[in-house]
Chain A
Amino acid sequence: MDTRKEKFPHGIPGHNLTEIEREIPIEEPPVWPVNDELKVIGKRVTRIDALEKVTGKAKYTSDIKLPGMLYAKMLRSNVPHAVITSIDISKAESLPGVHAIHLIENVRKEGEENNNGKYPMVKYAGQPLGGVAAESLEIAKDAISLIKVNYEEKPFVIDIEAAMELNAPIVFDEPITQQEDGGDVGETHDGSKGEGNVRGPSTSSFFGGPRGDLEEGFKEADVIVERTYRTQVHTHMPLETHGVVVDWNPDHMMVYASTQNTNAVRNEMASIFNLPKSKVRVFCDFMGGGFGAKHSAGSFGPMAANLAKKTGRPVWLMLDRQEEHIAEGNRPNSIQSLKIGARKDGTLTAIQQRSHGTAGVNLGAGVGRIAQILYPCPNFATEQYDVLTNAGPGAAWRAPGNVQGAFGLEQAIDELAEKLEIDPLKYRDLIDKSEVRKVERQRGAKLFDWSRRQAAGSGKGVVKKGLGVGQSTWPRFVTLDSSVEVKIHNDGGVEIRSSVQDIGTGTKTILAQVVAEELGLPVAAITVNIGDTFFPVGPGSGGSVVTGSITPPARNATYEAKKALLKLVAKKWETDSSELFIEDGQVGSKKDAGLKMPFKEATKLMRTSQISKIASRSNDYGGFQQPWGLAYGDLGSVQFAEVSVNTDTGFVRVDKIVAAHSCGRPLNLGQLESQINGGVIQGVSYALYENRVMDNGTGHMMNANVDQYKVPFSMEIPEIETLIVEEYGARSSTDAYGIGEPANIATAAAIANAVYNAIGVRIYEIPITPSSILKALNKVS
């Protein structure tokens, strides 16, 4: 491979910015300088689709209307654990306006006895059993209510601790052999090990397994903190529910999907219906949030397709809010014990972690890698167990596992600092080796004015103020199977295409920025056509991979297209194309300042009507930490929380959050701030409000709505100040990464630490409610 050497900016401006020489493939574009020297990258560029979104012109999946389209509704179990003995659809079938009913049945393999019964076993209340397609949604709902399902009910278990008992009702009689990624990115949870409802433990991650010797480590410790932390089940609550519209033509299956992974949905549908991938087209133009729960076709996708197949008509199937809460994912709960030892000088000697969590009928209820990697410690071990219960399946949820893990770890570190009589922020300076978090702590502490912090519980009066801090780490994941096509049309238009979807964070806008920067054009001149699997394969919107995966190919493809265009101009000007550049919409020459040609005019020189270049994500400059796409460095963050606690009523109010974050080269400050705001709000909500309430006696979720499932509204949202630290790593042609997950990890821990600072009593369980505060203060018997 031909290479060349170039000097790249490296480090943090205002702190340790320097240059680093990298040997890179010859075809890679030239180095971008730091953001200060760029035109549109790193600036506050308005979202290119802002107007469509705020005026309601943007078409989301539920807005899709096709000629002859039918509306579908899912049939769901209303008992938590049962064998289905029969399903009577006769009344529903004869309801005028009903076109098809599809029931989910066990698939019998060739030559096998069907011992499992006709229908799958019901394992949670709300489990999908079938669906109806009708001329209107109202008719479909009426038809569902006319279907009679007969159950042979079985004992069930909802509560995690009850499920861990040896004599608990068994959720899965059959072995779970599949290794499911129910949550954590890159983490497998082995369902084959374990007893009763308990599976695991999972003891390693891609950062390795246990280290050193715990016993020795705790012997060396002068101070030990040992605590148990509890977190609740947290549902995703995207404003747009899950759903699809399936239009199954003779030629191909068209799937309009509310998804954060068009490509995965395409692959799933192709596999289920035995179609070549080229015959399935998944499309997602606008997306109303997913937070990790919308990576697959679910059961509603195949259901809509089956109904479309049966009726020969397009089928609309969007879930309602109740279905969304019950059946389409949640952040599993956790009961995690942490034991941490340190020497008098603060050096960590051992970290031991043990956790149980339930993702309902799914696996993947771990507490992530954060205790393993946030602070270097020679002796470490974790045991993370999944507990199966008769409740809706968990799914990846914005930094899976790590949000739970951070709540425990960052409180334990705080408690350790207090025992060592060191300020918690100074203690992190001592044990945290990350350079970027060091800068975040310095700059964040100044912005937040950490020096105001008083001793825990020392405030006078009924309402006590508290300040706290929490930290996080998230890997720089990259999906190498990420491609774009850039087209320059002979009318001067520029277009970028990829199957990558914009989950709502502004992927369309940053792609336009990258293309615009490279072509010296305004952002508005770029057309972004993404979210369509007929275009080159892009990454799923998960793991915070999108920016780091899709912007380098976007820049590289643009660079290739630009080179092709400049060659044509060079030919006309009888010069060398390497001397030409495009700036402010004009092609110019470094040699002859008098030579100018508007970009649009240059595109008329093309022999064909377009220049088209496809590029895929190249390997990281300087190599990977793991060959499959784990880049060096981390997306570190430090968040500061200020709270007021009313010690008479128990109400906690978060007054302010300062969120200091890094994501390599920031591409769009406005969008980054917006995404961090969202992560912080979800963190506040996780710490104080949201909680899935299940009745252990009936197995039903009691607050599957937006009335009693409490997400914060405007008055609950604190003042949020974001602080973005530019950090250059010279890893790709854009050197940029995402911020989705990091924004959400540290908030609840920072709030819990602030609550402790306010009242002098630690709360080990979220959500923190008036009840838990008043109990902690011994005001409730």
Chain B
Amino acid sequence: MNKFSWYEAKSLEDALQQVNSTVSEQLYEHSGKASVFKSGGVDVFDLVKEGLLKPEKIINIRNIPGLDKIGYDPKKGLSIGSNVTLAEMASNPDIKTNYLALHQAVNHAATPQLRNMSTLGGNIAQRNRCWYFRSADHECFRKGGDRCFARHSDTGENENHAIIDNGSCVSVHASSIATALMAFNASVVIVNEEGEKKEVHMDDFFVTAGKDIAKENILQAKEIITEIILPAPSKNTKSAYIKQVARESYDWSLGDVAVVLEVSGDTCRTASIVLGAAAPVPYRSLEAQQAIEKKTINSENALAAAEAAMSKARPLTKNGYKVPLFITTIKQAILEIS
């Protein structure tokens, strides 16, 4: 860990004035002289301890007032401040009642200790957990290097990696909460230096590796997430979330699925199906959605949707098991709703 100075941001304006880079920019360009944000600090300090990130200044945005509220309005929907901790989300009754899949995802994320520390803004902005990306001894695409070690057909250790959209970087996005948020059609509210707010749909917040290898989301240096908003569910909205992990106590997802359906009786009217740990970003499966919409929710149709989702899968040398794993998990998540 290098030496850095600490700045306690008092307001959004204050923080945005201090900042001059993003963590991702630093990991890619190693420009030095960087002042970067830290909220819960879970991911940022991991990167610092691993010797990957060497900031000159860390700007603590954790204590900026006004970013730590959860608000729910049956008509407008849910608003979660970016500094709300995962633990606060886990125990929030409105989330549990109205956004069950999100409640399930949050409760299955990390450990109680980490949920106490982690904030939602930091969670969706965290970097991936590919062990090559996290190793100072491996200069991969995402850190300005010239290769993807995990993708290598002889030597790539890719059992945890992507099966979809894995043409360049094969890492998977680390946030399993984002899987559920995207399924609920969440949007990310971002404010910039000028104080302008924009609302970005979750599907557009994440950046695919093919589009820009240096980043996993659209955030720029002089931008900060203030809240995540979710539209109000209808009374016919039902949801489910399942995460597959090697260890139930604490582990990164091997494959997680969030399903949000509008139902009418036992028929699915509209479907939102998102897969985590399948691709370098949380992955919305249009094929699965299409396959289940307007259909009766039953075992046969759920399986058809799951198989449709996997039609895009192109497993690497060691992660072929993820295909049957996802088929089972998607099917199970759909059937949990029926």
User: Whose C-beta in chain A lies nearest to the C-beta of B2?
Assistant: A142
- B247 adjacent to A702 (CB under 8 Å): no
Contact of B248 with A by CB under 8 A: yes
- B321 adjacent to A710 (CB under 8 Å): no
- A708 adjacent to B246 (CB under 8 Å): no
Contact of B244 with A by CB under 8 A: yes
- B149 adjacent to A698 (CB under 8 Å): yes
Contact of A207 with B by CB under 8 A: no
User: Whose C-beta in chain A lies nearest to the C-beta of B325?
Assistant: A649
- A698 adjacent to B249 (CB under 8 Å): no
User: Whose C-beta in chain A lies nearest to the C-beta of B248?
Assistant: A715
Residues of A within 8 A of B (CB-CB), count: 36
**Using Cβ atoms and an 8 Å threshold, which residues of chain A touch B323?**
780
Given the interface pairs A710-B246, A716-B247, A716-B249, the reply to whether A703 lies near B131 with Cβ below 8 Å is yes
Contact of B325 among A694, A698, A716, A770 (CB under 8 A): A770
- B244 adjacent to A713 (CB under 8 Å): no
- A695 adjacent to B247 (CB under 8 Å): no
Contact of B137 among A141, A698, A708, A716 (CB under 8 A): A698
- B247 adjacent to A689 (CB under 8 Å): yes
User: Whose C-beta in chain A lies nearest to the C-beta of B251?
Assistant: A710
Contact of B155 with A by CB under 8 A: yes
**Using Cβ atoms and an 8 Å threshold, which residues of chain A touch B135?**
700, 702
Stretch from A584-592, A721-729, A771-779 contacting the other chain:
A771-779
Question: In whole angstroms, what is the CA distance A223 to B163 when docked?
Answer: 44
Contact of B324 with A by CB under 8 A: yes
User: Whose C-beta in chain B lies nearest to the C-beta of A770?
Assistant: B321
Within 8 A of B (CB), among A750-781: 769-771, 774-775, 779-781
- A649 adjacent to B157 (CB under 8 Å): no
Contact of B154 with A by CB under 8 A: yes
- A713 adjacent to B321 (CB under 8 Å): no
- A775 adjacent to B138 (CB under 8 Å): no
Residues of B within 8 A of A (CB-CB), count: 35
Contact of B320 among A78, A689, A716, A780 (CB under 8 A): A780
Contact of B159 with A by CB under 8 A: yes
- A696 adjacent to B155 (CB under 8 Å): yes
Contact of B96 with A by CB under 8 A: no
Which of the listed residues A78, A145, A695 has the most CB atoms from chain B within 10 Å of its own CB?
A695
Contact of B1 with A by CB under 8 A: yes
Within 8 A of B (CB), among A653-698: 689, 693-698
User: Whose C-beta in chain B lies nearest to the C-beta of A717?
Assistant: B249
Contact of B254 with A by CB under 8 A: yes
- B321 adjacent to A780 (CB under 8 Å): yes
- A781 adjacent to B325 (CB under 8 Å): no
Contact of A114 with B by CB under 8 A: no
CB distance from B123 to the nearest CB of A (A): 16
Question: In whole angstroms, what is the CA distance A235 to B154 when docked?
Answer: 24
Contact of A165 with B by CB under 8 A: no
Contact of B157 among A650, A693, A707, A774 (CB under 8 A): A693
Within 8 A of A (CB), among B1-42: 1-3
0 or 1 for each of B188-229: is its CB under 8 Å from A? (1 = yes): 000000000000000000000000000000000000000000
0 or 1 for each of B246-268: is its CB under 8 Å from A? (1 = yes): 11111110100000000000000
Contact of A648 with B by CB under 8 A: yes
CB distance from A766 to the nearest CB of B (A): 14
- B325 adjacent to A713 (CB under 8 Å): no
- A648 adjacent to B328 (CB under 8 Å): yes
Given the interface pairs A141-B1, A702-B132, A781-B320, the reply to whether A651 lies near B244 with Cβ below 8 Å is yes
Question: In whole angstroms, what is the CA distance A174 to B239 when docked?
Answer: 65
Question: In whole angstroms, what is the CA distance A209 to B22 when docked?
Answer: 65
- B138 adjacent to A715 (CB under 8 Å): no
Contact of A238 with B by CB under 8 A: no
- A697 adjacent to B321 (CB under 8 Å): no
**Using Cβ atoms and an 8 Å threshold, which residues of chain B touch A714?**
249
**Using Cβ atoms and an 8 Å threshold, which residues of chain A touch B152?**
697
Contact of A771 among B131, B132, B159, B328 (CB under 8 A): B159
0 or 1 for each of B295-337: is its CB under 8 Å from A? (1 = yes): 0000000000000000000000011110111001100000000
Question: In whole angstroms, what is the CA distance A694 to B149 when docked?
Answer: 12
**Using Cβ atoms and an 8 Å threshold, which residues of chain A touch B51?**
145
Question: In whole angstroms, what is the CA distance A196 to B320 when docked?
Answer: 35
- A708 adjacent to B138 (CB under 8 Å): no
Contact of B247 among A693, A696, A710 (CB under 8 A): A710
**Using Cβ atoms and an 8 Å threshold, which residues of chain B touch A648?**
324, 328
Question: In whole angstroms, what is the CA distance A702 to B328 when docked?
Answer: 29
Given the interface pairs A700-B138, A771-B159, the reply to whether A650 lies near B149 with Cβ below 8 Å is no
- B318 adjacent to A695 (CB under 8 Å): no
Within 8 A of B (CB), among A705-739: 707-708, 710, 712-716
- A689 adjacent to B246 (CB under 8 Å): yes
Question: In whole angstroms, what is the CA distance A774 to B325 when docked?
Answer: 9
**Using Cβ atoms and an 8 Å threshold, which residues of chain B touch A713?**
247, 249-250
**Using Cβ atoms and an 8 Å threshold, which residues of chain A touch B252?**
707
**Using Cβ atoms and an 8 Å threshold, which residues of chain B touch A703?**
131
- B155 adjacent to A695 (CB under 8 Å): yes
Contact of A138 with B by CB under 8 A: yes
Given the interface pairs A649-B329, A713-B247, A716-B248, the reply to whether A695 lies near B149 with Cβ below 8 Å is yes
User: Whose C-beta in chain A lies nearest to the C-beta of B159?
Assistant: A771
User: Whose C-beta in chain B lies nearest to the C-beta of A773?
Assistant: B321
- A708 adjacent to B131 (CB under 8 Å): yes
Question: In whole angstroms, what is the CA distance A47 to B198 when docked?
Answer: 61
CB distance from A697 to the nearest CB of B (A): 3
Given the interface pairs A689-B247, A695-B149, A710-B251, the reply to whether A650 lies near B321 with Cβ below 8 Å is yes
Question: In whole angstroms, what is the CA distance A696 to B157 when docked?
Answer: 9
**Using Cβ atoms and an 8 Å threshold, which residues of chain B touch A781?**
320
- B328 adjacent to A649 (CB under 8 Å): yes
Within 8 A of A (CB), among B232-283: 244, 246-252, 254
**Using Cβ atoms and an 8 Å threshold, which residues of chain A touch B320?**
771, 780-781
Within 8 A of A (CB), among B115-159: 129, 131-132, 135, 137-138, 149, 152, 154-157, 159
User: Whose C-beta in chain A lies nearest to the C-beta of B250?
Assistant: A713
Given the interface pairs A141-B1, A698-B137, the reply to whether A774 lies near B321 with Cβ below 8 Å is yes
CB distance from A761 to the nearest CB of B (A): 15
**Using Cβ atoms and an 8 Å threshold, which residues of chain B touch A695?**
132, 138, 149, 155, 157
User: Whose C-beta in chain A lies nearest to the C-beta of B324?
Assistant: A779
Question: In whole angstroms, what is the CA distance A771 to B131 when docked?
Answer: 19
- B154 adjacent to A697 (CB under 8 Å): yes
Question: In whole angstroms, what is the CA distance A774 to B324 when docked?
Answer: 8
- B324 adjacent to A697 (CB under 8 Å): no
CB distance from B28 to the nearest CB of A (A): 20
CB distance from B5 to the nearest CB of A (A): 15
**Using Cβ atoms and an 8 Å threshold, which residues of chain B touch A769?**
159, 246, 321
Question: In whole angstroms, what is the CA distance A682 to B247 when docked?
Answer: 15
CB distance from B30 to the nearest CB of A (A): 14
Question: In whole angstroms, what is the CA distance A769 to B245 when docked?
Answer: 11
Within 8 A of B (CB), among A117-162: 125, 138, 141-142, 145
Question: In whole angstroms, what is the CA distance A409 to B277 when docked?
Answer: 38
CB distance from A159 to the nearest CB of B (A): 9
Question: In whole angstroms, what is the CA distance A698 to B132 when docked?
Answer: 11
- A698 adjacent to B138 (CB under 8 Å): yes
**Using Cβ atoms and an 8 Å threshold, which residues of chain B touch A693?**
131, 157
Contact of A702 among B2, B157, B325 (CB under 8 A): B157
- A700 adjacent to B248 (CB under 8 Å): no
Question: In whole angstroms, what is the CA distance A651 to B324 when docked?
Answer: 12
Can you give 14 contacting A-B residue pairs, CB < 8 Å? A648-B324, A650-B325, A695-B132, A696-B154, A696-B155, A698-B138, A700-B138, A702-B135, A708-B129, A708-B131, A710-B251, A713-B249, A713-B250, A771-B318
Please list the 10 inter-chain residue pairs (A to B) with the smallest Cβ-Cβ separation, ordered nearest first.
Answer: A713-B249, A697-B155, A771-B321, A648-B328, A715-B248, A715-B249, A702-B131, A696-B155, A780-B320, A779-B324
Chain A positions within 8 Å of B, measured between CB atoms, are: 78, 125, 138, 141-142, 145, 648-651, 689, 693-698, 700, 702-703, 707-708, 710, 712-716, 769-771, 774-775, 779-781
Q: A698-B149, A712-B249 are in contact. List 7 more A-B contacts (CB 8 A).
A: A141-B1, A694-B157, A697-B156, A702-B131, A710-B251, A713-B250, A771-B159
